[in-house]
Amino acid sequence: MGGLSAVLIEKPEEIFSRVYRELRPYAAQPKVTVEFRRFANANSRVQLFDGRLEAKLSDAFAEAPAYVVESLAHILVSKLARKPLARVHRDRYRRYLNRADVRRHIETLRKSRGRKLVDSPQGACYDLVEMFEELNVRFFGGMMARPELGWSRRVSRTTLGHYDPSHHAIVMSRLLDSPKVAKVAVEYVMYHEMLHLRFPEEHRGPRRCVHTGEFKAAEREFPEWETARKLLRALG
Ligand SMILES: [Zn+2]
């Protein structure tokens, strides 16, 4: 392709170099690399090491106009350089992310990635949507909003289920989608993951505490928890 316009438009690397020089005029000029990454949300970051400035930008910005990339560069580099951020850049960045077409684009990226990680919730033996809704009525008064649900592509023996906050998805191990696994055991795994939605992660000091006392108490409200645990242990 190429053409005249390609020559006139500043590349993302050039934009980041220029912004860096602007914000840290007396520092050595790093070699800049810009990479667009498949982040599930719009998060971007920069790192400075070994005389290199590495920018990893969400591919939500891959087609952004140069002035938006410039504002993003200001946001990331001013944080790195501990310089105040001009308001115009924050506003521009926010306005871009709020554009209806950009929001739709990010949503599509997010969803297509969610689907890549998991298979449909309708398994050979168990339907996760049906199971979620039954548990929802039984234990949460039907008030829990349903996240994405799916069976893992790989048969995992170690991770029977997990909640993935970046895709807002409960992923269940394909291992459980079998007539050899009692429904109550699958329900218990699903219930556990639903509790992760009910009790978002708490941070206590340096260690991440995922299963709080409150969480464990709620887990025991599942009447057949002992049976279910025994069955699951036998699987592993
Ligand atoms: Zn857990």
Domain boundaries, the chain: 4-98, 114-235
CA of 74 to the centre of ligand 1 (A): 39
CA of 192 to the centre of ligand 1 (A): 6
CA of 186 to the centre of ligand 1 (A): 14
CA of 196 to the centre of ligand 1 (A): 7
Alpha helices in the chain (DSSP H): 4-8, 12-23, 66-81, 87-98, 100-117, 128-140, 183-198, 213-219, 225-235
Fold identical between 4-98 and 114-235? yes
* Banded model confidence at residue 67, pLDDT cuts 50, 70, 90: very high
> Looking at residue 130, what DSSP letter applies?
H
CA of 162 to the centre of ligand 1 (A): 7
Which of 22-26, 121-125, 203-207 is the least confident region?
203-207
Q: Is the pLDDT of residue 20 over 50?
A: yes
Q: Is the pLDDT of residue 205 over 60?
A: no
CA of 55 to the centre of ligand 1 (A): 33
| Cα 210 from Cα 193, distance rounded (Å) | 11
Say what the pLDDT of residue 17 is. Answer: 96
Say what the pLDDT of residue 59 is. Answer: 83
| Cα 109 from Cα 124, distance rounded (Å) | 28
CA of 123 to the centre of ligand 1 (A): 22
Rounded to the nearest 5 percent, the helix, strand and coil shares of the chain are: 50, 20, 35
CA of 54 to the centre of ligand 1 (A): 34
Per CATH, which fold does 114-235 belong to? Zincin-like (3.30.2010)
> Contact 164/150 with Cβ under 8 angstroms?
no
Per CATH, which fold does 4-98 belong to? Zincin-like (3.30.2010)
Q: In 3D, which of 137, 160, 156 has the Cα closest to residue 228? A: 160
Q: How many helices (H) and strands (E) does the chain have?
A: 9, 9
Say what the pLDDT of residue 89 is. Answer: 95
CA of 37 to the centre of ligand 1 (A): 28
CA of 174 to the centre of ligand 1 (A): 17
CA of 147 to the centre of ligand 1 (A): 16
CA of 108 to the centre of ligand 1 (A): 28
Element (H, E) at 151: strand 148-152
* Mean pLDDT in residue range 52-74: 92
